[in-house]
Structure 1
Amino acid sequence: MAFTYGFLSTHPPTQCGLATFNSALAAHLTGGGVFGGIVRVTAEGDDERPQPGVVHTWTPGGLGGWRAAATALESFDVAIVQHEYGIYPGRDGQDVLPLLRCLTVPSIVVLHTVLARPTPRQKALLEEIGAAADAIVTMTGTARDRLTAGYRVDTGKVFVIPHGAADHMRVPAQRRSRPHLLTWGLLGPGKGIEWALRALALLGGLDPPPIYTIAGKTHPKVLEHQGETYRDGLYELAARLGVSTAVRHDPVYRDQDSLSRLVRSADVVVLPYDSAEQVTSGVLIEAVAAGVPVVATSFPHAVELLSSGPGLLVPHGDPTELASAVRRVLTEPGLAGKLTGRTRGLIPTLLWPAVAARYDGLVRSLVAGRPAPAVAMLP
């Protein structure tokens, strides 16, 4: 028996982490003839043209609002809802709550953020979302622990399913003539790129000297409110530090094949994030799945995944420690292989087919617990 899947999220051509995640999960859950559809959430200025697989578009102030979106999801056996504060209409995205409450089909809410210090309103909203959902998915044990310790939720509803990753290993590693450091993802304040540039300036004496690629467009929200101020500041900082010729900006949003080639060309993925809140990082998962050593600041997901895995942790805002860790990976005999070798057995569990199978298993357990008349199965 196959179930039909409805997805509520931002979705391509919107360029954000949730859209990329939802697109990949939907593709792997609805392959092989399984039916599904996307209820796409858009913001002001998004491309509103019809997209394959999208059955309804929920726009701010659009006709029908959350009720029309809920009606579209009701035509499927299960609704999988991506949650991040602010992607849905209403203050803190509150309009997703009445939608969840009125669904009669089972619902799974996937939490991309669990704040350690939410506002009282954010805390109450997430608790009510958890109460309305049939299941809650976090992508790390850290997020689950933070959720169950800091919020009033039914712990029996909470499941940990990792963020999926593409099979980058199918692309042969293509090493460059100079050591290649890489950071990628949508760019904006908080990414900590300035610390990586300062660390690069401390890597003198390496022969040949490394090159550092900063890949990714400026985040659309940042671009809307601040323009390219952050990126321009990085250009200026690199010039002051004397490392401009070692820095390559690659401000494009890459497709999967192009991203795989880029990641597999790296000797070290550098994640110098400022945030101490980040319990889920898709870039971190993709780097681990690609078999590339990682040097990251001690944000929660990195602490969970790298402490005994394929990378080194450094303090936030410390370019000296960051440079020291990168230097170790590039020069210490056997260290890079030792780091990546620790997770060879883990990688298959992080790939999208395995992650989608876990969602499918969760869906089956939810549907099995529902009265038969509430389930419309495909033969």
Structure 2
Amino acid sequence: MTVVHVVLPGDIDDPAAPSGGNRYDRRICGGLVGLGWAVREHAVAGSWPRPSAASRTALAGLLDGLPEGAVVLLDGLVAAGAGEVPAARAARLRLVVLAHMVFGDEAADLREPEARALRAAAAVVTTSRWCRQRLIERYALPPARVHVAAPGVDPAPAATGSPDGSRLLCVAAVAPHKGHDVLADALARIGDLRWSCTCVGSLDRDPGFVARLRAHPAARRIDFTGPRTGADLDAAYAAADLLVLPSRGESYGMVVTEALARGIPVLTGAVAGLPEAVGRAPDGDLPGLLVPPGDPAALAGALRRWLAEPALRDRLRRAARGRRDTLTGWEHTTGQVGEVLAAVAGATG
């Protein structure tokens, strides 16, 4: 049985801070055990990707304590925050970085540490084709060392949907990069129409931003529920007609496929990995609407079409049901990650 040491951010199982990256990591760890790997988890406390000196020291001590030639799967959140630490130990370890996003695109101060970790790694696993290509371009990585393992999705009952399509759902931490301000501005432009909007996601990432949203004219018709998981999150999806994800960029967007697994159409941005997550139905139809990111007028126009055009709703719902049948599960994702780890474990020289 081959051992893999998985280095994770310290909040991996914090129910108050659910994230796509944490859920991906947890499913991969469980899936690798099912494939016969001996998984050794190491959660490192810290404010990743900007850790304290103590957190860097703890990470260094952890890696130094692993045996020579150990296979290490390192979460990209940790790698981007302390790239010099794994890079300095890459010669004695078999390092694979799991890159959930391109941190260097978001923050200039993370480019150098992220580059050092990725360039030193024996392999990099990304969560989308878009993310793979972006990392190759930004950091001049050898393409043969960069792989894709897109998130899986669990089967779920099809949402019933209401006749008028008025129940809007957004699932994302309430923070500027997720575009809730764009959503509020767009909803204010369609105040003459019947709709309700539920925003599920953490409210503590940026309290000032949340306060400004609550003061927005559209906020009286928006329900900010905070984070939901498990059955509570399932219930939110089951009650929804349309998933609206106004993010300014996503490497993939797990909530997109979670909605599509229930036959719920998606309205999101034509940016980064989001079109890849939306995908196409078998007949080529788009199971949702794509708009320019950060554009309230475009988002409002798409929402107005959805709410005012029954034929459009019917077409998108048919496409979403078709796309539902094409989605792959977590066993496929884990298998792809396992193949990369096995190749690294078996490499010589």
TM bucket normalised to smaller: 0.7 to 0.9
Which of 87, 93, 97 in structure 1 is aligned with 2:86? 97
Show structure 2 runs of 5+ residues with no match. Answer: 281-285
Matched, 1:22 2:10: no
Instruction: Report the aligned-residue RMSD.
Output: 3.2
Which residue identity lines up with residue 235 of structure 1 in the other structure?
R
Q: Distance in 2 between matches of 1:194 and 1:188?
A: 9
Shift of residue 187, structure 1, vs aligned partner: 1.5
- Superposition deviation, residue 16 in structure 1: 4.8
For the pair 1:257 / 2:228, whether they are aligned, the reply is no
Match of 1:152 among 123, 130, 140: 140
**2:283 aligned residue:** none
1:271 matched to 2:245: yes
Tell me, in whole angstroms, the C-alpha distance in 2 between the residues paired with 1:212 and 1:67: 45
Equivalent residue, structure 2, for 1:377: none
Deviation per CA, 1:140-172, whole angstroms, max 9, x where unpaired?
22122222223221211011110233x1x4345
Whether the 8 Å CA contact 2:4–2:70 is kept in 1: the answer is yes
State the AA in 1 paired with 2:76: H
Aligned to 2:344: 366
Tell me the secondary structure at the aligned position of residue 110 of structure 1.
Answer: strand
Query: How far apart are residue 189 of structure 1 and its match?
Result: 1.9
Please give the residue correspondences for 1:334-373 in structure 2 after superposition, counting only pairs within 5 Å: 334-347=314-327, 349=328, 351-370=329-348
Distance 1:288 1:76 in 2: 41
Shift of 1:319: 2.5
Confirm or deny that 1:79 pairs with 2:72: yes
Alignment partner of 1:66 is 2:59: yes
Secondary structure of the residue aligned to 2:176 is: coil
Q: 1:34 to 1:157 in 2, by over 3 A?
A: closer
Aligned partner (choices 296, 299, 302) of residue 271 of structure 2: 299
Does 2:192 align with 1:214? no
1:5-16 to 2 correspondence within 5 Å? 5-10=4-9, 11-13=12-14, 15-16=17-18
* Residue 273 of structure 2 is aligned to residue 284 of structure 1: no
Displacement of 1:343 in angstroms is 1.8
Change over 3 Å in CA distance of 1:119–1:254 after alignment to 2: closer
Check conservation: 1:287, 1:294, Cα contact below 8 A: yes
1:235 aligns to 2:214 (yes or no): yes
Q: Which AA in structure 1 matches 2:274?
A: A
Q: 1:110 to 1:186 in 2, by over 3 A?
A: same
Which ranges of structure 1 fall in alignment gaps of 5 or more residues?
A: 46-57, 223-227, 372-379
Distance 1:327 1:185 in 2: 22
Counterpart of 2:34 (choices 31, 35, 38) is 31
Deviation at 1:272, TM superposition (A): 1.1
Q: Distance in 2 between matches of 1:307 and 1:158?
A: 22
Alignment identity in percent? Answer: 21
- How far 1:73 sits from its partner (Å)? 4.7
Between the aligned partners of 1:264 and 1:74, the Cα distance in structure 2 is 47
**Does the residue aligned with 2:203 lie in a helix, a strand or coil?**
coil
Aligned length: 334
